[in-house]
A and B are shown apart, each in its own frame.
Chain A
Amino acid sequence: MTARRRDLFLCLILAGFAALLPVVSGVRYTVTQTTFFFIWATVVVQWNLVFGIGGIFSLAQMALFAVGAYTAAMLGYYLGTSMFLAMPAGALLAVIFSVAVGLACLRLRGPYVALLTLCVAQVMYLMIVNDTDCFTNPPAGCMPLMGGVRGFSRFGDLGFRELLGPAFYIGHYYVGLAMLTLAMIASVVVIRSPMGLAFQALRDNPAYAAARGIDRFKYQLWIFGLSSFFTGLAGAFYAVNTGVVGPVVFSFSHLLFLLSMIIVGGVGTIWGPLVGALLLMFADEAMRELGDLRDIGMGLILVGCVVLMPRGVVGLLEDLARRRAAQPARNAPLPTKESA
């Protein structure tokens, strides 16, 4: 079995197990928190394409997430668009936005890309929260075009409330699971394709990659575009799942939390972001009662991982597996005269 087939097969197996959770557990809290895991895992799996595979230190991912969320919410709020249309529309707008950001970053490297992409997100945030002009004047009070500080709510849903009543969250769970499964499959297909190799070549040795005819312009735009579709879709689904969207999606602490997931799991590995998201969401949940110590605890986990596992949990496991595979060969008896 090829590595690509193995990874795809594993994706489907894991998705199958995850599909049983609402039936097996039945605890609402577990189901709703796992839905959030699907959302954040989708974001970090796609971010890993840009950051881990492409080696581009972009911090625009939460801005793309916000584009998806705000597009879906605004279409629903102002035009009454069904969320079945608004969600893909949000994803497509995130792609267009991401390609534009990719173009702006073409001449930049390393921390300068991070600064520019962070600036884009911050400008969006400030434009939203400082807009106090009334675009409409509903009875509840002034509503700025982008929702201002208050954001949007009651812009529509996927109809699970009507269909499933109080168990509507189970419908959202399966939508989230489907989204993450597709995002993982897309990620595996890209990484295990010639295009994925081109991304890695540009990351590891740009000069050599260029000498081999790999067009940085083309591939950088591809990677920005590809990674943003599911990020925008995750944003749109986040809006539908929580029923509200506001400027909190731009928060820097959120951005760092997601970045930590990639680092803890393993930058540039296929399964690292998924594992990182799972571990950090567990850790975050376990430390929920600790108040301010929770942030310190998360910081310690991150520092510990960076110091002890520079390649993340999955990177460490890969190293151990490689060492173990190499060991029999090293311990094998030297050939004797007879055997020769």
Chain B
Amino acid sequence: MDSQINRRNFFKGSALLAGSAGLLVGANGTAYASGEPIPIGQAAPLTDFAAADGVEFRNGLLLACEEINALGGVLGRPLEPYFEDTKQMGDATNVQAVQRLIDRYGVHAVINGYNLGSGSAVQDVIADAGIIYMHNDTSRGHGVLVESDPQRYFGSFQTDPSETWYGTGLLKFLKSVEDDRSFSRPNNKMAIILSAGTYASNIANTVRDGAADFGWEISLYETVNVPTSEWGPTLAKIRQDPPAVIVVTHYFPADLAQFMVQFMNNPTPSLVYMQYGPSVKSFRDIAGQAANGVLFSTVIGALQDEMGLEFERRYKERFGANAGHNSGMQSYNGAWIWAIAAALAGGSGEPGNDDQNRKVADRIRSLIFRGVGGATRFVPGIQEAYAYPGGVDDPSLGMPHQFLQIQDYTGEPDLIAPWPYGKAAFKLPPWMNG
């Protein structure tokens, strides 16, 4: 790999050194990355409809490898990343891609962003090979699986909280903006639009099941076929019975952008909440002005603090001004956690070397890692990141469930919650401002 970063430049430019990088430097000592490379893999949607994210997952891992190698790799062994395309994803495709990484390259770890699927299939391939798996499938299925057999699934870690936090987090967020009087509901109706699939339906079901406790009634619960750019029938139902809040749990940026473009032709006085998709730049590019006012949240993304902004600068310097650092940070974060743990454990293990990788997994379990997206600490037993707030009340111990609003589509979205990370106040969307 042609490293673009050397040790001195990295020390000079990085605000990370006090935290995560410092741990790695401590373990590496004065070692330079010159030994036998450690192959690590990533299975990502590099082509097809989720390629915008997949390319950033690859970039995130590349940047992490370059930075880690600049600090001596893992105990003097440089990291060498390999990639497999998961195209349209799905369990069968994801499993085969990861299997190829293991069989073909003998990777010691698989460090992914997200892949669509059950979120609990790849772990079996990882367990068979006895290696480490860091991913952001954001799936409750991961925790359920690991809990069912912690010995077998020792090496699988979900570096963000599960999708169910989206549902409970949204209801609490709506209550908070009502409490501080920045939003008052015109009625108690809530429309939920989801796509087929575990991820979107788990979020939608959590919102639906908890809505009554917050005084909401579900006026529309509609599953749409995706990918789609034709939202007419769904919007017609919304316009016929306008709700106070529209919750879209589907998450493809291009689809969501089309929703907003078509919604703005004749908007209803409803807050529009989406998740994940609007954090990707292509959403704002496609939706343009129609993106202004959209609320969204993500349980994994770069914060707008000193570390997050410094990461954004480095990322865009490396991959161009239009690069999506919020997606790239997923694999970037996972790579750093794994590399530090591997260095602390005395090195990583190839497929079949369960003993060494169990030591790496032990270190991962005991880490509290402050990365560019907040703190990653794993819930014992289920090996997914703690959520803040909700899972823990201390922001230094959990991954923040970030609520953002696009207030000016030409710039980055504004982080409005949770405390202490919020940088801007919630604003009523332009279509509700008279």
B partners with A: yes
A155-184 CB mask vs B (1 if < 8 Å, else 0) is 000000100001010000000000000000
Chain B residues contacting A291 (CB-CB under 8 Å) are 46-47, 85
A30 to B102: give the CA distance in the assembly, Å. 12
A129 to B197: give the CA distance in the assembly, Å. 8
A132 to B93: give the CA distance in the assembly, Å. 21
Check if A251 is an interface residue, CB within 8 A of chain B: yes
Check if A140 is an interface residue, CB within 8 A of chain B: yes
* Minimum C-beta distance from A147 to chain B (A): 9
Stretch from A44-52, A240-248, A332-340 contacting the other chain: A240-248
A151 to B92: give the CA distance in the assembly, Å. 8
Count of chain A residues near B, Cβ 8 A: 33
Instruction: Find the residue from B88, B196, B202 having the highest chain A CB count within 10 A.
Output: B196
Check if B91 is an interface residue, CB within 8 A of chain A: yes
Q: Quick check: B90 and A248 within 8 Å, CB to CB?
A: yes
User: A153's contact among B46, B93, B118, by CB below 8 Å, is which?
Assistant: B118
User: Given A149-B196, A150-B198, A247 and B124 touching (CB < 8 A)?
Assistant: no
A116-141 CB mask vs B (1 if < 8 Å, else 0) is 00000000000001111000001111
Chain B residues contacting A5 (CB-CB under 8 Å) are none
Q: Quick check: A153 and B47 within 8 Å, CB to CB?
A: no
* Minimum C-beta distance from A36 to chain B (A): 8
Check if A272 is an interface residue, CB within 8 A of chain B: no
A130 to B116: give the CA distance in the assembly, Å. 15
* Minimum C-beta distance from B301 to chain A (A): 23
B193-204 CB mask vs A (1 if < 8 Å, else 0) is 010111001100
* Minimum C-beta distance from A104 to chain B (A): 26
Q: Quick check: B92 and A249 within 8 Å, CB to CB?
A: yes
Check if A142 is an interface residue, CB within 8 A of chain B: yes
Chain B residues contacting A249 (CB-CB under 8 Å) are 92
User: Given A129-B196, A149-B197, A140 and B141 touching (CB < 8 A)?
Assistant: yes
**Chain B residues in contact with chain A, CB under 8 A?**
46-47, 85, 88, 90-93, 95-96, 99-100, 102-104, 116-121, 124-125, 128-130, 139-141, 144-145, 194, 196-198, 201-202, 205, 223, 225, 351-352
Listed A/B pairs (20) with beta-carbon separation below 8 Å: A29-B103, A130-B196, A130-B225, A132-B223, A140-B139, A140-B140, A140-B198, A148-B198, A149-B197, A150-B198, A151-B92, A153-B91, A161-B128, A166-B129, A242-B95, A243-B125, A246-B90, A248-B90, A248-B92, A249-B92
Give 13 A-B pairs besides A132-B196, A149-B196 with Cβ atoms closer than 8 angstroms: A28-B102, A29-B104, A32-B103, A132-B194, A140-B120, A140-B144, A141-B141, A150-B198, A153-B124, A242-B92, A243-B124, A244-B121, A292-B47
